[in-house]
Structure 1
Amino acid sequence: MNQQSAIGSDDRLTQIDHTLDVLIVGAGISGICAARYLKVDRPGDSFAVLDDQESFGGTWQTHRYPGIRSDSDLHTFGYGFKPWVGPPIATAEEIRAYMGETIAENDLGDAIHYGWRVGWAEWSSRDSLWTVEAVRAATGQRVQLRARFLWMCQGYYRHSRGYTPDWPGLDDFGGDVIHPQHWPEDYDYSGRRMVVIGSGATAATLVPNVAEEVAHVTMLQRSPTWFASERNEITIASQLRNLQVDEAWIHEIVRRQILVNSRDFATLCFEKPEQVKADLLENARKALGDDYDLATHFTPTYDPWRQRLARIPNGDLFKAIASGKASVVTDHIERFETGGIRLRSGTLLEADVVVTATGFDLCAFGDIDFAVDGRPVDFHDTVGYRGMMFTGVPNLVWVMGYFRSSWTLRAEIIAQFVTRLLGHMRDRQAASVVPQVPDPEMELFDWAEEDDFNPGYLMRGQHLLPKRGAETEWKLSQDYWVEKDEFAAIDLESEVFRYG
């Protein structure tokens, strides 16, 4: 079945009348990964994938703003089992095409159901089953499914609403206000003055991609972000293709090289942050000139990799600024006025269009109402085992990927763990599994560490997320090199796992 044939009006879900072995929530990069590993490693298991959007893609289906592209290289953001053959930083269209090929090549189309949103899920210890209710977005039709295992792949932010601060006077503004998650189709911004509020990857993508058509575009930031300007090409990949090396080999070689480079760079950021700062600023200076005020506009107060490092493929943001078609203003918003934004410095930043590239609205566990044996689950009262399983919640795994490395690296590690866990449960004839903290005296903390990785959306949403523990396996690691070995060595008969 062609994956496109299920898009739009999907009634097939109502025809499922048997208990599924696994129900996957989300058909983005993680959900397609989960489905593929089930198909290959657990060919006898029945499963379904639900997504409330009209097609697969997740982030790459939601976001339609000009120039939308990856902020990770596709050799590691792509799957280990499917070679990536394009440039390392790819457009949303290229990523969705890659995901569509994955669906087709693994015959996953019949298992994916679009336009269905999961509203609630309840675990019954008596039956050792999840009962899940899904609602058809277009019609309000409801269907209940039963599944032995629930695999949450819906991501971590709310696709239906981005985060926009409540600025004074916003309703007084006489122009258009757009969040990048809700970019209007065929929106005409030519010849208009645009202000993009924000300094992360979204702002860095938007600014150079609208600069040629707007009258002028200003990136308004409260504080700077660290940017890495680099060529959108992997030299070794080009060399190997010229030698007509098989793409599978190229993918594996380049993937390993990028992983080593990323590990070494992250280590350098923590061990010699001043050296990394100097290198990043020197790249900016070469593009913007010696007279540009780098101290104000491109020198953050935090060390590199304390927040995500934004990539600038081929230096396009710097080039747009150097050309005079784009500019950066570092200031605080006092209020909105009819003609633009009044800054704390007193300056009126004139605008016809304001784009609020101000981040995500954290949405842990898909806004689904969870219950276990009739009792509502508050995930903030649970403790996360390796950031994927939670005390008191049986037969559930949640995919939270990496932030310092490509998200998909962790999605694949988790997928390999889940298929191994399902096989172990089948072998020991266990109907349920739930993690438990062996040491009741272990100290507990909020999910995100302020002195480690602390983007605003995580810090704003701590109350929605599980607790972490003082011991390593009760934390969310950002170290792929450690986890790839640790996950493979997890003892499924350890005291952490309680089977029923």
Structure 2
Amino acid sequence: MIEKEGTMFDVIIVGAGISGINAGYRVQEKQPDYSYAILEARGGMGGTWDFFKYPGIRSDSDLQTFGFKWRPWTDNRPIADGASICEYLKESAAEHGIDQHIRYHHKMVSANWSTDEQMWTLTVDADGETTYFHSRFVILGTGYYDYEEPLAVDIPGLENFGGKIIHPQFWPEDLDYSGKKMAIVGSGATAITLVPNVVEKVERVTMIQRSPSYILSIPNSNAGALALLKWILPSSLYFKIARWRYMFLAFLLYRVCQAYPNASRFLLQKGAKLQLPETISTDPHFQPKYNPWDQRMCLCPDGDFYKALKTGKADIVTGTIRTVDKTGLQMDDGTHVDADIIITATGLRLRLAGGAKVSVDKAPIQFSKKFLWKYIMLQDVPNLSFMIGYTNASWTLGADASVTLFTRVMSEMKKKGSTSATPRMENGDQIKSTPILNLSSTYISKAMDTLPRSGAEGNWKPRDHYYKDIWDAKHGDIQEGMEYTTVST
């Protein structure tokens, strides 16, 4: 074990959000003799849930699976608000002493691997001062969103608008929208969340979408047989059953939508029609041009989005924005949407490693030129792992499979007496590449040329589903495509 003196550790985890906290737990569980630190660029724990402040921010996955396997979510609501999730993360970290390893206001600027020293050197901005950390392993729990810069908004004439323009990523806590006319541009999870959470205060809210999303209403309470089991079974057994139930339902929904896209489309649109007011039709507002799960499906707890539309203070406009003028948005069909406030809920900018530069022996690594070994480690980059979650299930499931696999690689290195583990690919230029994110959303498509690639064979293939991936993380092959090296330092 490397002593925790100053800035030298066995493992450095970057990011104190849900992935980083989970990684901290798994490292101290699987590698109890390893020292570790968590570097967090901001001043608080929680990542997304500490950062985003727009009205109604909530999970778009159930907390039974989005929460930690090692500390069950006990609230009766499967879909929770951001503040509750953030509090859950803080309590989980404190309960297991993970919070004692976090160093706030420590932003990793760059990371360089030295082959001679078999060590990572991280250049860190520590509250305005440059300092250096050293570790054998680096775990990137930074997610894949850019916290500092939103996705560039492509709305013609936006500069002409005479009111306020707000991006949800930087929502002002003092924004008063009472009695205002609000236009929300976008049709993803953020827009679907905002509409029911602002409708009571605004004079009117209009969601403007170029292309609709699939919106699935789900009950936001554990009722029926699950509620009965909670009273009958021991807590530990109940939470296992609840977790596996939600995992199975999400898995089943995705597989059915992929196998029977036309039937799934019909049922989802029929479900929407049953909940809509007579003034809003499914055509064109709830008829996406793509199949279910080609883009991430939006969840609507207790049908709150549809209830907002029934108030008469919320509506939807589907079409292309021609331009923005001083008083609102002019659509191609001649419709004018009056607005005092425009919310640009058009997606987030993707950025890996928190924007830090990664190099090996001072040679820069271009993520887009590299393949991912088992979805966690970059080709030709030793002892570094990404915590990447799922796009078609809860993020945390994928992040946990990632760190479970990486700590197993650490154990294999101990067994072999290795100082480094480096993914190597022979004939990489002959292997067909596939995207690492299997969605067609605009914000993902725009970032594809900056992301690593998956391969079409062997340990370079993309993930499939959690059941298979967690088994593989614990028992699968970790020799193919991996070079274990021992170097005396």
Cα gap change, 1:478/1:94 in structure 2, threshold over 3 Å: closer, same or farther?
A: farther
Distance 1:438 1:136 in 2: 40
Find the counterpart in structure 1 of residue 80 from structure 2: 90
**Aligned residues of 2:459 and 2:481 also touching (Cα < 8 A):** no
- 2:63 is the counterpart of 1:74: yes
* Cα displacement (A) at 1:150: 0.6
Deviation per CA, 1:38-95, whole angstroms, max 9, x where unpaired?
1122111011001111111111111100011000000000011111111100011111
Question: Which of the residues 328, 347, 353 maps onto 1:359?
Answer: 347
- 2:440 is the counterpart of 1:454: yes
Q: Does the residue aligned with 1:296 lie in a helix, a strand or coil?
A: coil
Deviation per CA, 1:132-151, whole angstroms, max 9, x where unpaired?
011034xx111101110010
* Cα displacement (A) at 1:169: 2.0
Find the counterpart in structure 2 of residue 61 from structure 1: 50
* Cα displacement (A) at 1:266: 1.3
Distance 2:348 2:44 in 1: 21
Distance 1:195 1:89 in 2: 25
* Cα displacement (A) at 1:323: 1.7
Cα gap change, 1:266/1:134 in structure 2, threshold over 3 Å: closer, same or farther?
A: same
TM-score by length of 2: 0.95
Find the counterpart in structure 2 of residue 147 from structure 1: 135
Find the counterpart in structure 1 of residue 312 from structure 2: 324
Cα gap change, 1:417/1:448 in structure 2, threshold over 3 Å: closer, same or farther?
A: closer
Distance 2:453 2:249 in 1: 32
Distance 1:200 1:18 in 2: 41
Equivalence map 1:4-153=2 (5 Å)? 16-17=5-6, 19-86=8-75, 87-137=77-127, 140-153=128-141
Task: Report which stretch shifted further, 16-25 or 438-447.
Answer: 438-447
Q: Does the residue aligned with 1:346 lie in a helix, a strand or coil?
A: coil
Q: Report the AA paired with residue 20 of structure 1.
A: F
- 2:453 is the counterpart of 1:464: no
Q: Does the residue aligned with 1:71 lie in a helix, a strand or coil?
A: coil
Task: Report which stretch shifted further, 44-53 or 433-442.
Answer: 433-442
Find the counterpart in structure 2 of residue 6 from structure 1: none
* Cα displacement (A) at 1:16: 4.5
Find the counterpart in structure 2 of residue 400 from structure 1: 388
Deviation per CA, 1:375-427, whole angstroms, max 9, x where unpaired?
11111111111221111111100111001010000111112112221122122
**Aligned residues of 2:388 and 2:402 also touching (Cα < 8 A):** no
The Cα RMSD (Å) is 1.7
* Cα displacement (A) at 1:215: 0.3
**Aligned residues of 1:220 and 1:328 also touching (Cα < 8 A):** yes
- 2:281 is the counterpart of 1:293: yes
**Aligned residues of 1:164 and 1:359 also touching (Cα < 8 A):** no
**Aligned residues of 2:216 and 2:299 also touching (Cα < 8 A):** yes
Which segments of 5 or more consecutive residues in structure 1 lack a partner in the other structure?
1-14
Cα gap change, 1:384/1:472 in structure 2, threshold over 3 Å: closer, same or farther?
A: same
* Cα displacement (A) at 1:458: 1.9
Distance 1:182 1:291 in 2: 33
**Aligned residues of 1:448 and 1:459 also touching (Cα < 8 A):** no
Equivalence map 1:159-238=2 (5 Å)? 159-235=147-223, 236-238=225-227
Distance 1:79 1:70 in 2: 14
**Aligned residues of 1:444 and 1:467 also touching (Cα < 8 A):** no
TM-score by length of 1: 0.93
Distance 2:334 2:441 in 1: 28
**Aligned residues of 1:120 and 1:134 also touching (Cα < 8 A):** yes
Find the counterpart in structure 2 of residue 479 from structure 1: 465
- Number of residue-to-residue matches in the alignment: 481
Task: Report which stretch shifted further, 210-219 or 282-291.
Answer: 282-291
**Aligned residues of 1:180 and 1:357 also touching (Cα < 8 A):** yes
Find the counterpart in structure 1 of residue 237 from structure 2: 249
* Cα displacement (A) at 1:438: 4.4
Task: Report which stretch shifted further, 283-292 or 422-431.
Answer: 283-292
Cα gap change, 1:289/1:336 in structure 2, threshold over 3 Å: closer, same or farther?
A: closer
**Aligned residues of 2:212 and 2:318 also touching (Cα < 8 A):** yes
* Cα displacement (A) at 1:166: 3.4
Distance 1:323 1:228 in 2: 19
Distance 1:287 1:495 in 2: 51
Deviation per CA, 1:351-397, whole angstroms, max 9, x where unpaired?
00011111110102211111111211111111111221111111100
Q: Report the AA paired with residue 247 of structure 1.
A: S
Cα gap change, 1:16/1:464 in structure 2, threshold over 3 Å: closer, same or farther?
A: farther
- 2:489 is the counterpart of 1:499: no
Find the counterpart in structure 1 of residue 266 from structure 2: 278
Distance 1:250 1:227 in 2: 29
Which segments of 5 or more consecutive residues in structure 2 lack a partner in the other structure?
none
* Cα displacement (A) at 1:332: 1.0
**Aligned residues of 1:158 and 1:366 also touching (Cα < 8 A):** yes
Q: Report the AA paired with residue 423 of structure 2.
A: P
**Aligned residues of 1:442 and 1:470 also touching (Cα < 8 A):** no
Deviation per CA, 1:292-317, whole angstroms, max 9, x where unpaired?
32020011011111110000000011
Distance 2:191 2:279 in 1: 23
Equivalence map 1:407-418=2 (5 Å)? 407-418=395-406
**Aligned residues of 1:384 and 1:468 also touching (Cα < 8 A):** yes
Find the counterpart in structure 2 of residue 433 from structure 1: 421
* Cα displacement (A) at 1:349: 1.0
Task: Report which stretch shifted further, 464-473 or 263-272.
Answer: 464-473
Cα gap change, 1:35/1:348 in structure 2, threshold over 3 Å: closer, same or farther?
A: same
Distance 1:179 1:483 in 2: 36
- 2:410 is the counterpart of 1:422: yes
Q: Does the residue aligned with 1:476 lie in a helix, a strand or coil?
A: coil
**Aligned residues of 2:408 and 2:474 also touching (Cα < 8 A):** no
Q: Does the residue aligned with 2:337 lie in a helix, a strand or coil?
A: strand
